[in-house]
A and B are shown apart, each in its own frame.
Chain A
Amino acid sequence: MAQRRLEIDGVSKRYGDVVALREMTFAVEAGELFGFVGSNGAGKTTTMRIALGVLAADAGVVRWDGEPITLETRRHIGYMPEERGLYPKMKVGEQLVYLARLHGLSTADAKRSVAEWTERLGVAGRVGDEVQKLSLGNQQRVQLAAALVHNPTILVLDEPFSGLDPVAVDVMSKVLADKAAEGVPVVFSSHQLDLVERLCHRVGIVRSGQMVACDTVDALRAGGTVHLVVEAPNAPPGWASGLPGVTVKEQVGAQTVLELGDGADDQAVLRAALATGPVTEFTHRRQTLTELFRNVVSEHTEEAAA
């Protein structure tokens, strides 16, 4: 598989006076799992819709393999819209074959592929049923099958994990990782940040239609403040509040989370903790994606307010 990347370059979109996207720019490399996170209304869905050509951008360009994307190249994309949609009264099998054929597959290839994917996603037994008769979870699996049946060379999935049970989340995660391993650029949006953190190679955080942070998970986390986690069962409340340069973030039971400012001495903290009695845990913890996300979003809110 050749190295193909999906580029979103300076894409802008406005609805009347509302700016939905402001020069949105990022790229997803071949074989990369890219997590797209942001608050509701930040512009994730709009970006994906523009990439799929369902919406027209006011400015900017979406490139694939270095060329502006067209209706023909879009047929290579596997798409899962945020608004799930299938014909409720059409049978699962017929529907998937139809969608695969709309993506340019021959009937024979479409049938073969539908058999393969329904098997892999655990809905092979339901191909003869109408979609509306399936449980919500199974409808989601069919929806994913619809995004995969034409053997896409790009995957764009809007909230693929929402509404999935834990087993389905694992199936979905596996499928996405496998697809990326095949060299397919995979981009998906999600509010489940722990999942994004675990799965994705790179993450983009969107706010008010702009990309505000875009890097590998490690790089993003490295940039943030470091927290110190201390577990001292006998420590009284407020034991660390007098230490210079130290802010107590929370103290729950035996565990205290501290933020160290410039010039703060972690060894002084350890001595203070030992003074209260035994210390069972003393670790530096880098911030999670969730904390990072909160910081990034709130930083900008403050900026906007200032």
Chain B
Amino acid sequence: MSTLPDVRLGNWEAVSLVAGREVGTRLKSKAFIITTAATLLLLIGFTLVMKFVSGGSDATVGVVPSAVALEAPLKATATSIGQTIDTRAVDEAAGRGQIDDGSLDALLVGDGSKIVVVVKKEIDEKLKNTLNVLAGQLALNQEITDLGGDPATIGQAVAGAKAEVRPLEPPYDYNGQQLVIGMIAGVLIYMSLLINGQSVAQGVVEEKSSRVVELLLATIRPWQLMAGKVLGIGVVGLVQMVAIGGVGIAAGLATGVLTISVSTAVGTVIWLVVWFLLGFFAYSLVFAALGALVSRQEDIGGVITPPLMFVILGYVLGISILPTDPGNQLVEVLSIIPLFAPTLMPMRLAMGGVPAWEAGLAVVLVLALIPALVWLSGRIYRNAVMRSGAKVKLRDALRAA
């Protein structure tokens, strides 16, 4: 008997062949290159805008020589109520000119015994607050001096007096920057699940509608084809996520917009990647199975909308609740449930303050769900992918042997 060529193909070989095609096709596609580049540019642009905006002060006040004694108290008062005020020594005439051309917000005039400011038309509310507080202080100091006291001593005593708060559970001190990073993480995960998840469904339908699936299934098993597709698109999504997350954080740290520690930043990116992978695999298995039910691209929306709603719901809840209330209990509970965890948990993790057990439990639950999804979606896919024409009923796909 003549020898036949060895055409055995291991599972991994078959899966990686399919995955390799997905990666190759996607990396070459214009849509992929453009979206990735656009996201990167957007992120870098956002970082630069933040740098520009955060550099400035809230107001610039000119101080005439006679009122110069008020310059230091003005700055101190502003700081005490969370404002930043730049001051500039000018003579009155030049000061009025600068008010007119807009380079000064207000000009402090008078002899320093009371607060008199010149403004162009109206005074900025916050600046007015600062000045009122300062005026009150001046009046108080005057009274104290008249009564024979020392305003400085009393000032210190007042400043030192604070209500003592004793929390039963020490609250997590949320950092403003981490909140912003959390939001960005949420947007990234959401977009990525949406785009890559739909790519999986579209890829399945492309093979079905072009009938190439019959040729493929004559050589490899349905699960190998499905696994290869999910894996290939997942790898591309992962590369994209690492690139975007890495470049974003690096740009933030380099420009000085981000002042969080490098380890926190790296941790954020790692969690982002972990949750992208978990979320992507869980959801795209479902998308692949549901995609196999239909034969036309325009029918995809109808079948993948239900699971997509969970992705959208998680994202919307997170993005609308977390920025103002990062410790929200509803979100805390939902972020552990596998359906919502892929969108909510990475946002919470980036914002910080997630107890280790919650982070761990959410991962374990999704990991436990994935084998069940593999089995279920493999079954649906196998039963539905060769049936072209009308939409295959989910019930039929599940039942058929």
Residues of A within 8 A of B221 (CB): 71
A106 CA to B206 CA in the complex, in Å?
A: 26
B1 within 8 A of A: yes
Interface 9-residue window, one of B7-15, B100-108, B128-136, B328-336: B7-15
Residues of B within 8 A of A81 (CB): 211, 214-215, 218
Q: Is the CB of B9 within 8 A of A75?
A: yes
Q: Which residue of chain B lies nearest to A81 when distances are taken between CB atoms in the complex?
A: B214
Q: Mark B196-226, 1 if CB is under 8 A from A, else 0.
A: 0000000000110011111111111100000
Q: Is the CB of A87 within 8 A of B210?
A: yes
Q: Which residue of chain A lies nearest to B8 when distances are taken between CB atoms in the complex?
A: A72
Name the prevailing secondary structure of the B interface residues. Answer: loop
A17 within 8 A of B: no
Number of A-B contacts (CB under 8 A): 77
Q: Is the CB of A83 within 8 A of B214?
A: yes
Q: Is the CB of A54 within 8 A of B388?
A: no
Q: Which residue of chain B lies nearest to A53 when distances are taken between CB atoms in the complex?
A: B218
Interface 9-residue window, one of A95-103, A234-242, A279-287: A95-103
B9: which of A88, A102, A151 is its contact (CB, 8 Å)? A102
A90 CA to B24 CA in the complex, in Å?
A: 10
A99: which of B14, B25, B215 is its contact (CB, 8 Å)? B215
Q: Is the CB of B220 within 8 A of A2?
A: no
Give A166-193 interface residues, CB cut-off 8 Å to B.
none
Q: Which residue of chain A lies nearest to B386 when distances are taken between CB atoms in the complex?
A: A54
Q: Is the CB of A84 within 8 A of B218?
A: no
Q: Which residue of chain A lies nearest to B24 when distances are taken between CB atoms in the complex?
A: A94
Residues of B within 8 A of A126 (CB): none
A1 within 8 A of B: yes
Q: Which residue of chain B lies nearest to A86 when distances are taken between CB atoms in the complex?
A: B212
Q: Is the CB of B5 within 8 A of A86?
A: no
Q: Is the CB of A85 within 8 A of B9?
A: no
A131 CA to B220 CA in the complex, in Å?
A: 22
B259 to chain A minimum Cβ distance, whole angstroms, is 46
Which of B9, B25, B219 has the most chain A CB atoms closer than 10 A to its own CB?
A: B219
B17 within 8 A of A: yes
Q: Is the CB of B9 within 8 A of A76?
A: no
Q: Mark B171-200, 1 if CB is under 8 A from A, else 0.
A: 000000000000000000000000000000
27 contacts between A and B (CB under 8 A): A1-B2, A2-B1, A54-B217, A54-B386, A71-B221, A72-B7, A74-B218, A76-B7, A81-B218, A83-B388, A84-B211, A85-B210, A85-B214, A85-B215, A86-B212, A87-B206, A88-B210, A90-B25, A99-B215, A101-B17, A102-B9, A102-B17, A102-B216, A103-B219, A104-B5, A105-B5, A150-B7
Given contacts A102-B17, A104-B7, A104-B9, 18 further A-B contacts (CB under 8 A): A1-B2, A49-B214, A53-B218, A54-B218, A71-B221, A72-B7, A79-B215, A83-B211, A83-B388, A84-B211, A85-B210, A85-B211, A101-B17, A102-B9, A102-B219, A103-B7, A105-B7, A150-B7
